[in-house]
Amino acid sequence: MTNVIEVEDISKRFTIHHERNQTLKERILHPRSGSSEIFDALSDINFTVEQGETLGIVGHNGSGKSTLLKCICGVLKPTTGQIRLRGNLAALLELGAGFQHELSGRDNVYLYGSMLGFTRKMVDAIFDEVVAFSELEHFIDTPVKFYSSGMYVRLAFAVAVNVNPDILVVDEVLAVGDERFQAKCIDRIRHFQREGRTILLVTHQADTVRAICDRAIVLDHGNMIADGPVTDALRIFRGRLLGDVVDHRPGGTGVVTIDGLTAPSGSFEVRHGGNLHFDATLTCDHAVSGNLVIEVFTRTGLLVSRNDAEAAPVSLRPGANKVGVDLTGVPLLDGVYDINVGLVEPQGATMLAWREKAASLQVLYDGRSSGVVAIELSVTQW
């Protein structure tokens, strides 16, 4: 396959002015005053993306993921290194950033298209599709200043995905619009994947990455700490997130570890509709109270269930603690599921401990329904 994005030794250094000497007078009177600080947003990032890949870039706030994305799009110039791109690229960094409020939706479609680097002819060809996708048929000749924020974003998204770029770059914008529109966006992204286009997705939502991406890279304070299959990358991402939490706790004493899950029956096997009991062992060095989170995933990475954390409070004593967990009436269908276990703080939901794939759950089902869960169904003929 062809490499469509090659990132070579990219570093980005920002100078942060603490006191901005922006007027001429200040610059002349105090040429050296005002402290400034050097901040390395990215250091020596290397990776390549092949045509047709969907790459997730994850990292906590301030990890440099947006900076990296902006460098790839050409909005920022890297301090050192270079990025080579093949094919045209449409970036959704901030939807509607190029819109002119006074102009109509129609004019803005053309303007935004040309900002993304597409010619008038190309926009002409897809104009009707853009309007249909955005569902703004009645408002397309209204100035966008009268649009609601949802309409605004829908129009921008519609332009970017309908110009059919070779590379689509998306920065946490999937959280826009109502649920139906979100589903439509995800649908369009999947369509892009089937067409073999390349997608770059930046997010801190692990679920989105798991659902869409083939591969993920993890950034932490400007360094790339992982590059590989989604599940491995996410494990490292969670591990690092956890490490941070521990580092930043006052006193630095609160270390909680999840040692593992054990089932008294010896196996994590349950019949469809049956009950399962297992124990989680957590060790801590001082008393901690938190809420237990249990996630169940399919092997394809679909989140089936995450419990309401507030319904599962636990108080841990120093040392090893055993917490019993009961799953009742498991509605899952035949298959193997992964269980993740976490402990979050009662307030703020900061993660105290996390264990990915703590156990594999085997569900047995005799029926003929397929999918993840069974929905009771009967047919009545009149």
Question: Which residues of this protein are in contact with other proteins, per CB under 8 A?
Answer: 2, 4, 14-17, 22-25, 27, 51-52, 71-87, 91, 93-94, 97-98, 100, 102-103, 107, 110-111, 114-120, 126, 129, 132, 143, 162, 164, 166, 184, 187, 191, 194-197
Q: Please, what is the minimum distance in Å from the beta carbon of residue 148 to other proteins?
A: 19
Instruction: Give the residue with the Cβ less far from other proteins, 120 or 271.
Output: 120
Q: What are phi and psi of 206, to 5 degrees?
A: -60, -35
Q: What is the closest distance, in whole angstroms, from the C-beta atom of residue 110 to other proteins in the complex?
A: 6
Judge whether 339 and 295 are in contact, CB under 8 Å. yes
Least spacing, CB of residue 138 vs other proteins, in Å = 19
**Residue 146 or 369 having the CB closest to other proteins:** 146
Using the structure block, give the residue that is written with the tokens 């790339």: 224
Instruction: Name the β-bridge partners of 299.
Output: none
Q: Report, in Å, the least distance between residue 236 CB and other proteins.
A: 27
Return the SS3 of 93: coil
List phi, psi (to 5°) of 22: -105, -15
- Please tell me the distance from the alpha carbon of residue 245 to that of residue 241, in angstroms, as a whole number: 6
- Supply φ then ψ for residue 71, to 5 degrees: -65, -45
80 or 267: CB nearest other proteins: 80
Taking the least distance from each CB to other proteins, the nearer of 120 and 277 is: 120
For residues 166 and 334, which CB has a smaller minimum distance to other proteins in the complex? 166
**Residue 377 one-letter amino acid:** L
- 268 CA to centre of own chain: 30
- How many other CB atoms are found less than 10 A from the CB of residue 231? 16
> What minimum distance in Å lies between the beta carbon of 96 and other proteins?
9
Q: Which is nearer to other proteins, 36 or 267 (CB)?
A: 36
Nearest one of 228, 232, 164 to 198, comparing CA atoms: 164
Query: How far, CA to CA in Å, does 15 sit from each of 20, 33, 34, 39, 69?
Result: 11, 15, 12, 6, 19
Question: Which residue number, 21 or 283, has a Cβ lying nearer to other proteins?
Answer: 21
As measured in angstroms, the least distance from the Cβ of 195 to other proteins is 5
Q: How far is the CB of 70 from other proteins (least distance, A)?
A: 8
* CA of residue 87 relative to chain centroid, distance: 25
